[in-house]
Amino acid sequence: MFQFSIYLRHCPSRENADVHIKRVKNILPDKGHVGILCITDKQFGSMELFYGKKEKPVSTPYQQLELF
Protein backbone atom coordinates (compact mmCIF):
# COMPACT_ATOMS: atom_id res chain seq x y z
CA MET A 1 0.00 0.00 0.00
CA PHE A 2 1.39 3.35 -0.99
CA GLN A 3 -0.99 5.49 1.04
CA PHE A 4 -4.41 5.52 2.70
CA SER A 5 -5.92 8.38 0.74
CA ILE A 6 -5.49 9.68 -2.76
CA TYR A 7 -6.55 13.08 -4.07
CA LEU A 8 -6.84 13.95 -7.76
CA ARG A 9 -6.61 17.24 -9.56
CA HIS A 10 -7.05 17.66 -13.29
CA CYS A 11 -4.56 20.07 -14.85
CA PRO A 12 -4.99 21.02 -18.51
CA SER A 13 -1.24 21.42 -19.08
CA ARG A 14 2.13 20.52 -17.59
CA GLU A 15 2.73 24.20 -16.80
CA ASN A 16 -0.50 24.32 -14.78
CA ALA A 17 0.50 21.12 -12.95
CA ASP A 18 3.86 22.69 -12.07
CA VAL A 19 2.04 25.61 -10.42
CA HIS A 20 0.06 23.23 -8.20
CA ILE A 21 3.12 21.12 -7.40
CA LYS A 22 4.92 24.26 -6.24
CA ARG A 23 1.92 25.15 -4.02
CA VAL A 24 1.97 21.70 -2.42
CA LYS A 25 5.72 21.92 -1.81
CA ASN A 26 5.20 25.23 0.03
CA ILE A 27 2.66 23.74 2.48
CA LEU A 28 4.20 20.32 3.21
CA PRO A 29 3.50 19.04 6.74
CA ASP A 30 6.35 18.54 9.22
CA LYS A 31 5.45 14.84 9.45
CA GLY A 32 3.89 12.51 6.94
CA HIS A 33 4.51 11.75 3.31
CA VAL A 34 3.24 13.43 0.15
CA GLY A 35 3.66 11.92 -3.30
CA ILE A 36 2.72 13.53 -6.61
CA LEU A 37 2.25 11.50 -9.78
CA CYS A 38 1.53 13.20 -13.10
CA ILE A 39 -0.19 11.09 -15.75
CA THR A 40 -1.81 11.91 -19.06
CA ASP A 41 -5.55 11.70 -19.75
CA LYS A 42 -4.89 8.65 -21.93
CA GLN A 43 -3.00 6.87 -19.14
CA PHE A 44 -5.77 7.70 -16.66
CA GLY A 45 -8.37 6.42 -19.10
CA SER A 46 -6.65 3.04 -19.43
CA MET A 47 -6.62 2.45 -15.65
CA GLU A 48 -8.10 -0.88 -14.54
CA LEU A 49 -10.23 -0.87 -11.39
CA PHE A 50 -11.05 -4.02 -9.42
CA TYR A 51 -13.70 -4.44 -6.72
CA GLY A 52 -13.51 -7.91 -5.24
CA LYS A 53 -12.76 -10.88 -7.46
CA LYS A 54 -15.19 -10.19 -10.31
CA GLU A 55 -14.37 -7.64 -13.00
CA LYS A 56 -16.89 -4.85 -13.46
CA PRO A 57 -17.33 -3.12 -16.79
CA VAL A 58 -16.11 0.47 -16.66
CA SER A 59 -18.94 2.91 -17.23
CA THR A 60 -18.52 5.51 -19.93
CA PRO A 61 -17.05 8.61 -18.28
CA TYR A 62 -18.88 11.89 -18.52
CA GLN A 63 -17.40 14.52 -20.76
CA GLN A 64 -15.35 17.01 -18.76
CA LEU A 65 -16.39 20.62 -19.16
CA GLU A 66 -13.81 23.36 -18.93
CA LEU A 67 -14.68 27.00 -18.41
CA PHE A 68 -12.40 29.74 -19.60
Give the residue-averaged pLDDT of 21-46: 91
Alpha-carbon distances, residue 33 vs 20, 24, 47, 51 (angstroms): 17, 12, 24, 26
Give residue-wise pLDDT tens across range 5-25.
888 899 999 999 999 999 999
pLDDT (0 to 100) of residue 68: 63
Give the residue-averaged pLDDT of 33-42: 90
DSSP 3-51: -S-------SSHHHHHHHHHHHHHT--SSS--------HHHHHT-----
